[in-house]
Structure 1
Amino acid sequence: MIKKTVSVIMVFLFVFSVQDTFAQSRKKKKADKNATTKVETKAPETKKEPKPYSKVIDTTAVTQNGLIIVHKIDNKYLFEIPDSIIGSEIMTITRYSKTPAGGGIFGGEEINRQVVRWEKGLNNNILLRSVTYVIMSTDESKPLAQAVKNSTSDPIIGNYDVLAYKKDASGKITGYVLDLSTAFDADVQTFSLDPIKKQLLNIQTFQKDKSFISKVSSFPLNTEIRSVKTFTTTPPKINTTPTPKIGVDLPSALDAGVVTLELNTSMILLPKVPMRKREFDARVGYFANQYGVFEEESQKSDTKVFAVRWRLEPKSPEDAQKQKNGELIEPLKPIVYYIDPATPDKWKKYIKEGIDDWQVAFEAAGWKNAIRGEYWPENDPTMSLEDARFSVLRYFAAEIQNAYGPNVHDPRSGEILESHIGWYHNIMSLLRNWYLIQTAAVDPAARAKKFDDKLMGELIRFVSSHEVGHTLGLRHNMGASSATPVEKLRDKEYQAKNGHTSSIMDYARFNYVAQPEDGVTDLFPRIGDYDKWAIKWGYSYFEDVNTEKEEKAKLNEMTKEAYKNNRLWFGTETSPYDPRYQTEDIGDNAMRASEYGIKNLKRILPNLLEWSSEKGESYSELDELYGALTGQFRRYMGHVTKNVGGIYDSPKTYDMTGNQFTVVPKSIQKDAVLFLNTQLFTTPKWLLDQNVLSKINPENGVEAIKAMQDATLSSLMAGDRMVRLLESSAASKENYSVDELITDLNKGIFSELKTSAAVDMYRRNIQKLYVDKLIELLKPGSTTVRSVPVGVSYGFTTRKVNLAQTDLPSIARGQLISLRNNLKVSSAKIADRMTKYHVLDLVARINEGLDPK
């Protein structure tokens, strides 16, 4: 209603405004009817012709040679574009250098990246185009290539007059002097913030008089432009309606009415000959790039999908032969990550160790010293943290509990050019909570409000390795942890040798399964078997392979052999239905692993008060840890729930045996429902430790328990899960069905019906929730079912299913009638007053649901 009213008002104001303007226009026209109209003509501006080079770049110019030659004259920068890079493709990467506080943005973070190309204009000018890779032709000499060009016009983002031509002794033009201030001290989107980022920061109009280029540095393969940009901001409004607020009011903007940002744009020349692409394989978890391909002899267009990875090559043919013979060799150009000097000194060595830990994986691919961490050199004027030549782990003074590992790559080939890992200071808080809640039952070092430096350092090292893995091109492998049998998680020798997961790229944080009596001390993830295999797949150098097609065939044979070992399997992070591919889980059976995890939570909970205490402080730390513990418990419920209606998705190719998709066995799905009936729907009263709750919450936990049960029931009975159960049970009577699921839930949630025993408030709540959800299934509406397409890198296909036209309402009606009959029979035997009221209420709800008035 509010939105509609506002729309009507806006339309009224618009019409009124237009009419008023028109009326004024008519009045003015009438008054001037007899006046003589005088047309003033302005002579067109004469285009300034280029001047002699020495007149523009005089003896006062301070010149830097590099990719772009930069001349500073007084306080103005002029840019000389060498003729040799006209038509070449250049990657531009713009990052924040300095940011205002309070906006969730930090110096060092990437804002924008694009490929650009300089080209000659028609009249003493140079154009700058933005290049987008969507479709390409494979042979520029064929007629089809022209059709591709006709469909791929690149936008012009800059048009610059040539101030002077640089010529050699023979008179040949070798360079073009331009004034690019309109690109870098203005608001050109390629070198600034895009409209969405501006909306998120409530940024409005660019302030030219408060913006300028502050520094330019040029190097052989790149040029760095530092600029200061000032914008007005959206003034805050008094919000008298419940409409959502878009954007962040930056504190400095509230004080001054404007906001100033410092940005750095790197312009880096892309390789003249792109690296050979390595075709994407869904069986190995690499980030990918893609574009459409049109071939002259093909009968349809194709999509070229290729892995994102660094270029590692031997220094010489002799080295290549040594590697082929099994000897480790050093690459021509190793992968180097620098550590931000703003990083606290005591953590730098652990971050470096996390980087260096990947050396063992590269050795599996035939390289030694292929990757290393380095401390940022002091007082080196040739180096900048924003310089795209250098990969840097940037440390952010932020309350965010996270870290991330992006990369910048050549869109033509997937070659990674550099990476700036983002590291937020408060990641340590998250690590403390994770480790304490998951391992304090077995590791005494975890039983503290503040961890000692060695333990925190090792936690930092683990995160460093994980984020570096992403910058090497590796995606999350959420299936890696499912390769470890649950009982092996309690095996001290096995854990010492193999760790609890086969990949550090999984979200398998710490070993929460190990019990105090097991003696397991290896609780951290590490570079595992899958990581070594994935690096081997991505970074092996094949000296005797000449084409992408030959390379694909060789890699396919390697992959088929690797897939004989399930520790080398990849499990996509995007699967909505494979229970092996989940975050925060470990082991090959979620029910058994979660049962062990809950045993440890029961040991930890009574100690939270002691482990969080500090004299003179409030109970906020206890509140945070209790929230982390209940969050861990909810994760266990989610891990188990995904087995119900689950589908195993094991990527296959035509030359492999077996099906890609198989239904999770009925026995496992029934075990999952039994677990939920036992651990959640039967009230987990152990979570209601009043010694804790009475210090952090005025409530006693009744609603908190109900919320957990509600969330899991909603997930269990979600439309997409119902569709998968209906589909699989139609395929075979051996598969679990919707009717069996509801029958099993009835047995657990209404177990008191057998004995007509009293039902307490917690159980009454879950029974009401359950009946209401069953009634909702009588008119279930539509649902969206997502699937991961075979053989692709990312994304989903979706389809709408009208659940009212399935068996779901029929099953719900039959189950409700049966439940109503059982409730009626039980009600006659119930002695407890509240229980009788409750049962009669349920019968009334069911009656109304089945036959609404």
Structure 2
Amino acid sequence: MKLLARSTFKVLPFLLLAPAIHSCNFLQYVGLYKGKETKTSVTDTVKVDTTNRSYLKVYEKAVVDSGMFQVIKKGKDFYFDIPVALMGKDFLLINKISSVPIELNEAGVNKGINSDNKVIRFFIQKDRSEVWVSEVKPTVESTPGSAIAQSVAANFTSSFIENFKIEGYSKDSSSVLININKVFDGKANSFNDVFKDLGLGTSPNTNLSVIEQIKSFDANVVVKSVLTTRVTEGNSSVPVSIGVTSNIYKLPEQAMKPRFADPRIGYFTIPRWYFSDEQQELEKRELITRWKLEPKAEDVQRYLQGELVEPVQPIVFYIDPATPKQWRQEIINGVHDWQVAFEAAGFKNAIIAKEVPDSLDFDIDDAQYSSIAYIASPKVNAMGPSVVDPRSGQILEADVIWWHNVMTALNSWMRIQTGIVDSTVRGNVFDQEKMAHAIRFVSSHEIGHTLGLMHNMGSSFSFPVDSLRSPAFTEKMGGTATSIMDYARFNYITQPGDGVKLLTPKIGLYDKYAIAWGYRWFPETTPWAELPKLRAEIEKHQHDPHYWYGEQQDSRNVIDPRAQSEDLGDNAMLAGEYGIRNLKRMMPQIINWTTEKGESYYKAGRLYWGVIGQWYTYAEHVANNIGGLYLENPVLGDNKNAYTPVPRATQIEAFDFMKNQALEMPEWLFDKALLTKTFALKDSPMGPYEQAPNSLKREFQSALMHLMLSDERLLRMTEAELLFGKAKTWTVTEYLEAFRKEVFKKTLAGANLDINSRMLQQNYVDILLVSNNKTMDRLYTRKLSLVDQILAETRLDLCGIHGVNHAKKEPDDISFRNMRVDGMARTSDMLIAKRAELMAVLDILKKAKGGDHLTKSHYQDLILRIEYTINKK
């Protein structure tokens, strides 16, 4: 998720999900500072002198709230009366944003965002009359009673993060009283460092920070605070007050039996390390994140015989009362769409969504409740993060965050991708039924993330392109892909007259398969015992493309063209052709679809901008076939290869598409009748930017060429040639030769060059110059980043944080397979090929004959640029 502040400061990325690293339970730390291990369990009753009246004095004329901890409010002070029996137990501290000012709202930081979680334990340090708190990171597990368990205990210790003075003990010494103000009112940041988590780099102003309320429930305590800071950037200084809700949530005494991940099915995961005496190598596993669904004891036999049963505890989502009424039912329907997937796992009524009943003491910030929070914000997005028990991967609660303005993206996608075949989505405003239906699709997608599922960007590749033009096929298969977890938005392939009605993604075959794999209950007592059954389920479908999982990739360095964002079908070239046909039909209609008499052309310019972004997306899908590799996660016996080059013929077909539809920037995309009324418009905090068409052409053409000629692409082509031979691959030499002949075909024919042809040659030479002069890289990367920002509005990375898989990185900053091809690239054949290409271009330019004065001047300019770069010392 990218948070680009429009205010005077920048908000950096922060962690949305539960902590990924955790450690073992070591009770000996109670006596750590005595220099020896205590022999008294922290759960034993602590015998103390109760003649001190301080305990009872705190309770005098105080407001008391009973629950997991007794909470006492006395004046401005808050106290926890913690049962001694809970000392040393695992609690999950969950910090969420509950209110923000406009400066953060504009940056996409809103109510419901989970800023930081940590596992903590309370301990009594009797000799110091204090309660200490440790932060626990239970990543590691060892065999009880093993010799190595002693070493594990010594080498994976937890660390203390806070201490509290003991104000007194209860009469029977069964509970201990502490004042907890400092960790929630900004004086200490051990429990909550929200301004650091958001990347603001400031500290709370304690005079303007306060605890508002604390509620105690049976399983958690909810603390609501307001923390204030001041952010300074340049000459501007902005006050920022954030509402924070902290939950201290008691984790289950017995952690859920975990399930080991398999890279062939896309679940979010957390790491787990297992030590035992018998090992010759540490066993490292990934645990999938999932809810705990189990059949009731009386239903176990029926369940094992294949009957559908209700789980002990279903997954329940509550609809935020702030949600506009006209959208609530379809959001609920989007949740219930997953019931059919859970039926594949043997459970009925396993997932439920409902409005908040009047009888429920509901607080959307209470970690006991999962919710779909509706956020008033200009941000265009939605996401579904979860809170996870890091000991087992159990999802404890989840909150879909639904930004109000996500409807603008739905409007744009539907108009551009399906407006030609669906007249109901051509206007600036859709009827409520149509928008509600689109909202249902996004609701289902985000709920999928809260169930533990990652994006499956490869599911759309299993459908033949022409099948997406078939009403019967789309009705039977359920929309545009086998998974709603793909970014297979709307059916842009179907043409007028095809009669396709189902244009929206739905829960598909892969979704049912993935939920069944992750949630089917097995009586086996260990995750190792389940493995044969889980592997057998994958083996049933391992050669059926409908069940293939294609993991999300870095959009700027796609390796496997089958798993791309926003694409449809099994042939990007044919899909792009169909998509472009519809865009051509749409271009003359832009003003009619957007503008009423007396209105400006602003909305026409915005829609035009979206059309350009859609065209560019089709071009990228195609370009990524060149130098691509089909990636698999093979296992012994499945007869699959980890790496297969995209067939040579497919790569050449992709280049032919780029020649015909992209490289010279198509004239239909720059309709003069439209350009006399409006340029393409991109909104900004300073108002809309009007994108001059020729300047836009240069930038987009340069970005496409950089994509097509990137170092990584050419290095992959070289690796493929060496591994698989020239007969199965398209070599770098052949590719660059084809590129050069296309770019300089008019020069080789002795023709005059128009401005578009000159631009094409200038951009091609510029790319080669950058490759041969690395000092230009930073400047060029900045230019490409600008193109990415320009496209951000039209190719929204909806819920992008989910691709991060608990890493504190932007999803676009990483390639999930981490395939490295650029080791010592400066000495590779790739640079030799690029320099040779530059010399071949120079030779063409020097031999060029014919052409008018402007054409000859253009050649002379390119010659000077090339020679300057080559001869520069």
Fold similarity call, TM over 0.5: yes
User: Which residue in the other structure is 1:651 paired with?
Assistant: 633
Offset, 1:758 = 2.8
Q: 1:654-680: CA deviations, max 9, x gaps?
A: 232121111111111111111111111
The question of whether the paired residues in 2 share the 8 Å contact of 1:226 and 1:265 is answered with yes
The question of whether the paired residues in 1 share the 8 Å contact of 2:663 and 2:704 is answered with no
The correspondence for 1:260, drawn from 221, 235, 241, is 241
Offset, 1:267 = 1.0
The correspondence for 1:838, drawn from 841, 852, 858, is 858
Find out whether 1:747 has 2:747 as its counterpart: no
Which has the higher mean CA deviation after the structures are superposed, 268-277 or 655-664? 655-664
The correspondence for 1:373, drawn from 327, 340, 353, is 353
Q: Secondary structure at the match of 2:823?
A: strand
Find out whether 1:761 has 2:762 as its counterpart: no
Offset, 1:124 = 5.9
The question of whether the paired residues in 2 share the 8 Å contact of 1:503 and 1:526 is answered with yes
Q: 1:436-480: CA deviations, max 9, x gaps?
A: 111111110111111110111011110000000000000000111
User: Which residue in the other structure is 2:364 paired with?
Assistant: 385
Structure 2 regions of 5+ residues with no counterpart? Answer: 1-47, 680-689, 779-803, 806-813
Offset, 1:427 = 0.3
Correspondences of 1:169-248 after superposition (within 5 Å): 173-194=173-194, 196-197=196-197, 199-200=199-200, 203-207=202-206, 209-231=207-229, 233-235=230-232, 237-238=234-235
The question of whether the paired residues in 2 share the 8 Å contact of 1:359 and 1:370 is answered with yes
User: Which residue in the other structure is 2:591 paired with?
Assistant: 609
Offset, 1:58 = 4.5
The CA distance in 2 between the partners of 1:131 and 1:574, in whole Å, is 34
The CA distance in 2 between the partners of 1:706 and 1:235, in whole Å, is 37
Query: How much identity, in percent, do the aligned residues show?
Result: 35
The question of whether the paired residues in 2 share the 8 Å contact of 1:782 and 1:802 is answered with no
Find out whether 1:271 has 2:252 as its counterpart: yes
The question of whether the paired residues in 1 share the 8 Å contact of 2:55 and 2:167 is answered with no
Which has the higher mean CA deviation after the structures are superposed, 438-447 or 136-145? 136-145
Find out whether 1:347 has 2:327 as its counterpart: yes
Correspondences of 1:567-646 after superposition (within 5 Å): 567-574=546-553, 576-646=558-628
The question of whether the paired residues in 2 share the 8 Å contact of 1:283 and 1:651 is answered with yes
The question of whether the paired residues in 2 share the 8 Å contact of 1:401 and 1:428 is answered with yes
User: Which residue in the other structure is 1:701 paired with?
Assistant: 693
Offset, 1:145 = 2.2
The CA distance in 1 between the partners of 2:638 and 2:774, in whole Å, is 40
The CA distance in 2 between the partners of 1:163 and 1:298, in whole Å, is 48
Offset, 1:278 = 0.4
Relative to the length of structure 2, the TM-score reads 0.84
The question of whether the paired residues in 2 share the 8 Å contact of 1:137 and 1:144 is answered with no
The question of whether the paired residues in 2 share the 8 Å contact of 1:758 and 1:831 is answered with yes
Offset, 1:704 = 1.2
Correspondences of 1:83-162 after superposition (within 5 Å): 83-104=84-105, 105-123=109-127, 125-133=129-137, 135-162=139-166
The CA distance in 2 between the partners of 1:799 and 1:89, in whole Å, is 44
The question of whether the paired residues in 2 share the 8 Å contact of 1:396 and 1:424 is answered with yes
The correspondence for 1:712, drawn from 700, 704, 711, is 704
Q: 1:327-357: CA deviations, max 9, x gaps?
A: 1100000001111101111111111111111
Offset, 1:637 = 1.3
The question of whether the paired residues in 2 share the 8 Å contact of 1:706 and 1:765 is answered with yes
The question of whether the paired residues in 2 share the 8 Å contact of 1:89 and 1:269 is answered with yes
The CA distance in 1 between the partners of 2:691 and 2:334, in whole Å, is 44
The CA distance in 1 between the partners of 2:839 and 2:241, in whole Å, is 67
Q: Secondary structure at the match of 1:510?
A: coil
Q: 1:4-47: CA deviations, max 9, x gaps?
A: xxxxxxxxxxxxxxxxxxxxxxxxxxxxxxxxxxxxxxxxxxx9
The CA RMSD over aligned residues, in Å, is 2.7
The CA distance in 2 between the partners of 1:842 and 1:236, in whole Å, is 43
Structure 1 regions of 5+ residues with no counterpart? Answer: 1-46, 240-248, 254-258
The CA distance in 2 between the partners of 1:779 and 1:134, in whole Å, is 49
Correspondences of 1:427-506 after superposition (within 5 Å): 427-498=406-477, 499-506=479-486
The question of whether the paired residues in 1 share the 8 Å contact of 2:400 and 2:446 is answered with yes
User: Which residue in the other structure is 2:263 paired with?
Assistant: 282
Q: Secondary structure at the match of 2:402?
A: strand
Offset, 1:838 = 3.0
The CA distance in 2 between the partners of 1:92 and 1:336, in whole Å, is 22
The residue identity in structure 2 corresponding to 1:811 is A
The residue identity in structure 2 corresponding to 1:757 is A
Structure with the greater relative contact order (CA < 8 A, sep ≥ 6): 1 or 2?
Answer: 2
Structure number with bigger Rg: 1
Offset, 1:507 = 0.6
The CA distance in 1 between the partners of 2:528 and 2:624, in whole Å, is 39
The CA distance in 1 between the partners of 2:453 and 2:379, in whole Å, is 24
The residue identity in structure 1 corresponding to 2:129 is N
User: Which residue in the other structure is 1:35 paired with?
Assistant: none
Distance change (3 Å), C-alpha of 1:548 and 1:311: same
User: Which residue in the other structure is 2:316 paired with?
Assistant: 336
Offset, 1:226 = 1.6
Offset, 1:228 = 2.7
Distance change (3 Å), C-alpha of 1:304 and 1:835: same
The CA distance in 2 between the partners of 1:137 and 1:831, in whole Å, is 75
The question of whether the paired residues in 2 share the 8 Å contact of 1:164 and 1:176 is answered with yes
User: Which residue in the other structure is 2:504 paired with?
Assistant: 524
User: Which residue in the other structure is 1:730 paired with?
Assistant: 722
The residue identity in structure 2 corresponding to 1:585 is D
The CA distance in 1 between the partners of 2:140 and 2:447, in whole Å, is 32
Aligned length: 774
User: Which residue in the other structure is 2:782 paired with?
Assistant: none
The question of whether the paired residues in 1 share the 8 Å contact of 2:356 and 2:362 is answered with no
Relative to the length of structure 1, the TM-score reads 0.86
The residue identity in structure 1 corresponding to 2:654 is A
Q: Secondary structure at the match of 1:280?
A: coil
Q: 1:733-778: CA deviations, max 9, x gaps?
A: 1211111111111232223245433321011111121123234444
The question of whether the paired residues in 1 share the 8 Å contact of 2:770 and 2:777 is answered with no
The CA distance in 1 between the partners of 2:115 and 2:51, in whole Å, is 35
The CA distance in 2 between the partners of 1:89 and 1:50, in whole Å, is 31
Q: Secondary structure at the match of 2:420?
A: coil
The residue identity in structure 1 corresponding to 2:177 is V
Q: Secondary structure at the match of 1:196?
A: helix
Distance change (3 Å), C-alpha of 1:175 and 1:443: same
The question of whether the paired residues in 1 share the 8 Å contact of 2:115 and 2:198 is answered with no
Q: Secondary structure at the match of 1:702?
A: helix
Distance change (3 Å), C-alpha of 1:799 and 1:814: closer
Distance change (3 Å), C-alpha of 1:602 and 1:198: closer
Distance change (3 Å), C-alpha of 1:691 and 1:81: same
Offset, 1:780 = 6.2
The CA distance in 2 between the partners of 1:568 and 1:770, in whole Å, is 41
Offset, 1:70 = 1.9
Distance change (3 Å), C-alpha of 1:683 and 1:117: closer
Distance change (3 Å), C-alpha of 1:822 and 1:111: closer
The CA distance in 2 between the partners of 1:218 and 1:461, in whole Å, is 35
User: Which residue in the other structure is 2:534 paired with?
Assistant: 555
User: Which residue in the other structure is 2:823 paired with?
Assistant: 801
The CA distance in 1 between the partners of 2:197 and 2:493, in whole Å, is 43
The CA distance in 2 between the partners of 1:302 and 1:550, in whole Å, is 15
Find out whether 1:538 has 2:518 as its counterpart: yes
The residue identity in structure 1 corresponding to 2:67 is G
The CA distance in 2 between the partners of 1:794 and 1:699, in whole Å, is 34
The question of whether the paired residues in 1 share the 8 Å contact of 2:632 and 2:640 is answered with no
Q: Secondary structure at the match of 1:695?
A: coil
Distance change (3 Å), C-alpha of 1:809 and 1:182: closer
Offset, 1:833 = 3.8
Correspondences of 1:16-27 after superposition (within 5 Å): none
The residue identity in structure 1 corresponding to 2:215 is S
The question of whether the paired residues in 1 share the 8 Å contact of 2:187 and 2:204 is answered with no
Distance change (3 Å), C-alpha of 1:699 and 1:387: closer
